[in-house]
């Protein structure tokens, strides 16, 4: 795609925010980094004329984001051309118009006034048409990436899906063409006349952490904890 040759994504009417435009980010490397740091997204689409938003696992490979699910799930059936999917013309492959969002919450911003309370965050919004992935090699790459998105290296340390499981699993691919990030950092922004008010103001950092892995009771106790889990 043309945008893949640039260092930034081209802004569009849907990716330029109506408020706080100075927080918008179109830098390709920064968008990729924000996507790669998380693994939970919210996938929005329209079903029977009403909006639906589903939380789901995702993974980025190059200039495409993948989500997966059961072949019987509604968004995946819609993407395959059932009622509610994106319109197709001239023999084009079926697809589903979606909006995929990823959000990192970095801090709670407490201001002197209720109006200026906020959050420090980093988010990515992707608009486009998600298409079913049918090529066997691309499906394999996508499914491995989805496993590794949660714990890097896990796809090599688990049994691959068998033919029955693959037949029950659908994968959607969404190109990173119409995409933007938005970032808010720093302290609260209070009104000048409020600066001397006797209220605590500042930022409460929010961090992601992992607990000690809990082994399955049915697992052979001689199996050691993998290196990729010890690193966490």
Residue pair 159/166 in contact by the 8 Å Cβ criterion:
no
Q: Tell me the residue length of the chain.
A: 232
CATH 2.30.110.10 fits 2-230, yes or no: yes
CA 143 – CA 160 distance, rounded (Å): 9
Is residue 177 predicted with pLDDT exceeding 90?
A: yes
Give the list of residues 6+ apart from residue 42 with CB closer than 8 angstroms, or none. Answer: 53, 54, 55, 56, 100, 101, 102, 103
Mean pLDDT, rounded, of the chain: 89
Each residue's pLDDT tens digit, 75-113? 777 776 654 444 444 445 678 999 999 999 999 999 999
Give the three-state DSSP class for 89: coil
Instruction: Find the mean pLDDT for residues 60-78.
Output: 83
Give the three-state DSSP class for 149: helix
CA-to-CA separations, 72 to 13, 77, 98, in angstroms, rounded: 34, 6, 18
Task: Record the pTM.
Answer: 0.86
Give the pLDDT band (50/70/90) at residue 226: very high
CA 83 – CA 187 distance, rounded (Å): 47
Domain boundary assignment for the chain? 2-230
Tell me, what's the pLDDT at 93? 62
Give the pLDDT band (50/70/90) at residue 20: confident
Helix (H) or strand (E) holding 102: strand 96-110
| Closest by CA position to 75, among listed 98, 58, 107, 59 | 98
Is residue 231 predicted with pLDDT exceeding 90?
A: no
Each residue's pLDDT tens digit, 125-170? 999 999 999 999 999 999 999 999 989 999 999 999 999 999 889 9
Residue pair 17/24 in contact by the 8 Å Cβ criterion:
yes
């Amino acid at each position: 795609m043309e945008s893949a040759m640039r260092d930034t994504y081209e802004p569009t009417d849907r990716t330029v925010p109506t408020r706080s435009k100075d927080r918008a980010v179109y830098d390709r490397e920064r968008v990729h980094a924000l996507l790669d740091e998380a693994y939970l997204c919210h996938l929005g689409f329209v079903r029977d004329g009403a909006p639906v938003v589903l939380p789901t696992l995702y993974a980025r490979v190059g200039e495409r984001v993948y989500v997966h699910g059961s072949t019987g799930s509604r968004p995946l059936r819609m993407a395959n051309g059932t009622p509610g999917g994106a319109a197709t013309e001239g023999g084009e492959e079926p697809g589903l118009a979606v909006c995929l969002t990823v959000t990192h919450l970095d801090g709670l911003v407490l201001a002197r006034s209720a109006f200026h309370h906020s959050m420090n965050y980093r988010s990515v919004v992707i608009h486009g048409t998600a298409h079913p992935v049918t090529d066997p090699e691309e499906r394999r790459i996508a499914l491995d990436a989805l496993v590794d998105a949660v714990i890097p290296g896990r796809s090599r340390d688990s049994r691959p899906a068998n033919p029955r499981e693959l037949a029950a699993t659908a994968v959607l691919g969404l190109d990173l063409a119409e995409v933007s990030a938005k970032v808010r950092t720093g302290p609260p922004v209070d009104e000048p006349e409020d600066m001397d008010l006797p209220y605590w103001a500042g930022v409460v950092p929010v961090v992601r952490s992992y607990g000690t892995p809990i082994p399955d009771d049915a697992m052979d106790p001689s199996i050691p904890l993998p290196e990729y889990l010890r690193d966490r």
